[in-house]
Amino acid sequence: MPELPEVEVTRRKISPKFVGRTIAAVHMTADSYFFLTKPPELKRRLNGRTVAALERHGKYLVAALDDGSRLLLHLGMTGQLFVQGSSSLRLLSSTSRASLRPEEQSIFKPDSHTHLRLGFKDGGPEVWFRDVRKFGKVKWIAPGETDERLNRLGPDALEATGEILWAASRKKTVAAKNLLLDQSILAGVGNIYADEALFLSGVRPTRKAGKLTRADCDALAQNIRKVMARSIETGGSSISDYISPDGADGAYQDERQVYARKGEPCRVCGAPIRKITLGQRGTHFCRVCQK
């Protein structure tokens, strides 16, 4: 599940093989709600454009194009943006991987989930966007136009401050975790890092946001920045030339304190990690360490 760190790692990996190249071919799967811009229009808009930059806003990637338009990409839950020819074992399930001969395992061919394929004038490797569950999004933004999705985003989570959380949480009855997941307050925090930051800050996910102290807000902001920066570091070093579809499956898993550790002992006090559902999301915490 790509959260800010996974998206940032993707951006860094893809940029050198995307920025500066001129799009000469656009292939797409059948229209679906994955395409906020319909495939025929997308093809028309992208063809011939040169990619000027690849930026990130929260969990969104935005490619700036040479005519002033922009291509918005959101990875959703299972989105993967990668370069053709990447050795990409993680792109296949373990079962389908097992059916391949060893020499085939490093080659990924576009499948029914590979919704967008960008070819380039230089004839080099294509850039592919694959998304099994189609929770991801692709949208072309006209020159000078803004996008409601981007407009709604709060400050990037890497720039989180206690002041932001303090101001946003006053008199709110929403659970502290749901406050962290609100992209209009901080952009980029997802389920995993919300649970981790709450644990490191000693805040129970269910606590009402209005009951957070200023010190809690400072701790949360600091820990959000900390877990994200650390994840980008480890993700960047462990992900060589493929992109894992599962944040919990990356190098950061070794440092997880609570996420997906239901029933396992808390690393601080030994009490079993609890799992509840909050805001439709699996939520993990330690009853002893988080008040």
Partner DNA sequence: ACCGCACCCTGAGCGC
Partner DNA sequence: TGCGCTCAGGGTGCGG
SS3 80: strand
- For the chain, strand residue ranges (E) read 23-28, 51-57, 60-65, 70-74, 79-83, 114-120, 127-131, 137-141, 274-278, 281-285
> Under the criterion CB under 7 A, does residue 207 sit at the interface with DNA?
no
Here the tokens at position 236 are 């960047």
Among 43, 149, 207, 226, binds DNA (CB under 7 A): 149
Among 38, 121, 133, 211, binds DNA (CB under 7 A): 133
Smallest distance from DNA to CB 280, Å: 5
> Under the criterion CB under 7 A, does residue 96 sit at the interface with DNA?
yes
Q: Which is nearer to DNA, 23 or 286 (by Cβ)?
A: 286
> Under the criterion CB under 7 A, does residue 181 sit at the interface with DNA?
yes
The whole-angstrom separation of Cα 88 and Cα 109 is: 10
Beta pairing partners, 208 = 175
> Under the criterion CB under 7 A, does residue 197 sit at the interface with DNA?
no
Q: Which is nearer to DNA, 96 or 146 (by Cβ)?
A: 96
| Tokens 């993707």 -> residue | 10
Q: Interface with DNA by CB under 7 A: which range of 121-129, 138-146, 170-178, 235-243?
A: 170-178
Report which of 64, 68, 52, 73 is spatially closest to residue 10, judged by C-alpha positions.
73
- Please identify which of the residues 117, 134, 225, 281 carries the catalytic annotation: 281
Residue partners of 102: CB distance under 8 A and separation at least 6: none
Among 39, 49, 54, 58, binds DNA (CB under 7 A): 58
Would residue 104 show up in a list of annotated catalytic residues for this protein? Answer: no
Would residue 214 show up in a list of annotated catalytic residues for this protein? Answer: no
> Cα 221 vs. chain centroid, distance in angstroms?
19
Would residue 262 show up in a list of annotated catalytic residues for this protein? Answer: no
Among 19, 20, 135, 230, binds DNA (CB under 7 A): 135
SS3 195: helix
Smallest distance from DNA to CB 119, Å: 24
Residue partners of 148: CB distance under 8 A and separation at least 6: none
- Please identify which of the residues 59, 70, 177, 274 carries the catalytic annotation: 59
State the DSSP string of 52-74: EEEEEETTEEEEEETTS-EEEEE
Would residue 2 show up in a list of annotated catalytic residues for this protein? Answer: yes
> Under the criterion CB under 7 A, does residue 99 sit at the interface with DNA?
no
Q: Helix count (H) and strand count (E) of the chain? A: 8, 10
> Under the criterion CB under 7 A, does residue 172 sit at the interface with DNA?
yes
> Under the criterion CB under 7 A, does residue 183 sit at the interface with DNA?
yes
> Under the criterion CB under 7 A, does residue 62 sit at the interface with DNA?
no
Interacting residues with DNA (CB under 7 A) = 1-3, 33, 58-60, 74, 76-77, 93-96, 113, 132-135, 149, 152, 172-175, 178, 181, 183, 190-192, 209, 275, 277, 279-282
